[in-house]
Amino acid sequence: MAASRERLNRSQSLHQQVARTIRNDIAAGVLRHGQALPSSRVLAQEWGVSVFTITEAMKVLAEEGIVLNQSRSKRVVNAPDQTLRNDLRAQNPHVIIIGGYAGSGKTELGRILARETGWSMLDKDTITRPVVEAALEILDLSPNDRESEDYLTKIRPREYEALMAAVEENLACGNSVIATAPFIREFNDAAWLARTEASFASKNAAISLVWVYCDPNTMHTYIRHRGAARDAAKLGNWSGYLSGIDVAFRPAVPHSVIDNSVSSEPLQNQARNLLKEIINTKES
């Protein structure tokens, strides 16, 4: 959990925002079974909310059974299924490509799917960030730059090349893959999608595209929550950032949509339903 969080968006129920983020972290394995959560006072300071708000969030999670109150001051994560491993290794591999704007929850979705299936989890930032930051510094740019023309034309394309090369290598080994990145340009590029699908098909692999939708207020909360330096420019001019993206964007090819807004169904439930759809499609 982030050591410091700025204040949440007041347009939605604060305790539900806290509860959803903690729920997602548990489902994604960020918070582990048996792990003790910080005290209400500490959590309130981290989130910038009242102790009452944290208490209400914990009531929600306790009612769901994923947080246990062991004493008045101690709460622990209750997720025994985290220790179970499912391996849905099919005869032919499958690739789930997950895209979405910053803070939409695509990495959390990928982690949940990976835990449900045992498939390889490949996140662009995890794979490329150290090299990207070094390359930006060589270009005399901030290591957190993700908006400049140099980044967009010289570095970003190589990030996606590296990610897709890792996907291809897994497919060559017969492994199914979950790949997460924004994929904004790629999901807008019919030629890229056709080449990618053809490349996967040559390895007898199927592809599923997933777009993670998240309303702007919830995205703002998620971005503040993770506290990544690369998000500073977005947070510094949030209205300007929103004006430059199309929140209603959807890929122009067959795809699934996951809604990670606070008011939507829990992310883990949507992930499991998505897997059922994928498996049923493969078997039909």
Looking at residue 268, its pLDDT comes to 94
Looking at residue 150, its pLDDT comes to 96
Q: Which domain holds residue 108?
A: 94-283
Whether 179 shows a pLDDT value over 60: the answer reads yes
Q: Mean pLDDT over residues 172-182, rounded?
A: 96
Whether 106 shows a pLDDT value over 90: the answer reads yes
Whether 142 shows a pLDDT value over 80: the answer reads yes
Looking at residue 37, its pLDDT comes to 94
The residue written with tokens 């290598």 in the block is 169
- For residue 6, tell me if it sits in a domain: no
- For residue 9, tell me if it sits in a domain: no
21-46 confidence digits (pLDDT tens) = 899 899 888 898 999 999 999 988 88
Answer yes or no: do 137 and 233 share one domain: yes
Answer yes or no: do 240 and 261 share one domain: yes
Whether 1 shows a pLDDT value over 60: the answer reads no
The CATH number linked to 57 is: 1.10.10.10
Instruction: List Cα–Cα distances, 102 to 89, 99, 116, 119, 236, in angstroms.
Output: 30, 10, 24, 23, 14
The CATH number linked to 244 is: 3.40.50.300
Whether 2 shows a pLDDT value over 60: the answer reads no
- For residue 117, tell me if it sits in a domain: yes
Whether 131 shows a pLDDT value over 70: the answer reads yes
How far is residue 170 CA from its own chain's centroid?
Answer: 21
- For residue 26, tell me if it sits in a domain: yes
Whether 85 shows a pLDDT value over 70: the answer reads no
Q: Mean pLDDT over residues 212-233, rounded?
A: 87
Q: Mean pLDDT over residues 148-157, rounded?
A: 96
Q: Mean pLDDT over residues 192-219, rounded?
A: 94
- For residue 227, tell me if it sits in a domain: yes
Answer yes or no: do 29 and 101 share one domain: no
**What's the pLDDT band for 125 if we cut at 50, 70, 90?**
very high
Q: For residues 57 and 49, give the distance between their C-alpha atoms in angstroms, rounded to a whole number.
A: 11
Answer yes or no: do 169 and 72 share one domain: no
Looking at residue 186, its pLDDT comes to 97
Residue that terminates a domain, selected from 83, 113, 131:
83
Q: For residues 248 and 261, give the distance between their C-alpha atoms in angstroms, rounded to a whole number.
A: 13
Q: Where are the beta strands (DSSP E) in the chain?
A: 67-69, 75-77, 94-99, 120-123, 177-180, 206-213, 256-259
How far is residue 109 CA from its own chain's centroid?
Answer: 5
- For residue 44, tell me if it sits in a domain: yes
Looking at residue 87, its pLDDT comes to 67
What CA dihedral angle connects 267, 269, 271 and 275, to 10 degrees?
-170
Whether 123 shows a pLDDT value over 70: the answer reads yes
Which tokens hold the place of 4? 């410091």
- For residue 131, tell me if it sits in a domain: yes
Answer yes or no: do 125 and 197 share one domain: yes
Answer yes or no: do 73 and 207 share one domain: no
More confident residue, 265 or 72: 265
Looking at residue 30, its pLDDT comes to 86
Mean pLDDT of the chain: 89
Answer yes or no: do 19 and 112 share one domain: no
**What's the pLDDT band for 280 if we cut at 50, 70, 90?**
confident
Q: Mean pLDDT over residues 254-275, rounded?
A: 95
Q: For residues 62 and 80, give the distance between their C-alpha atoms in angstroms, rounded to a whole number.
A: 15
Residue that terminates a domain, selected from 83, 110, 133:
83
Q: What is the domain count for the chain?
A: 2
Residue that terminates a domain, selected from 83, 107, 134:
83
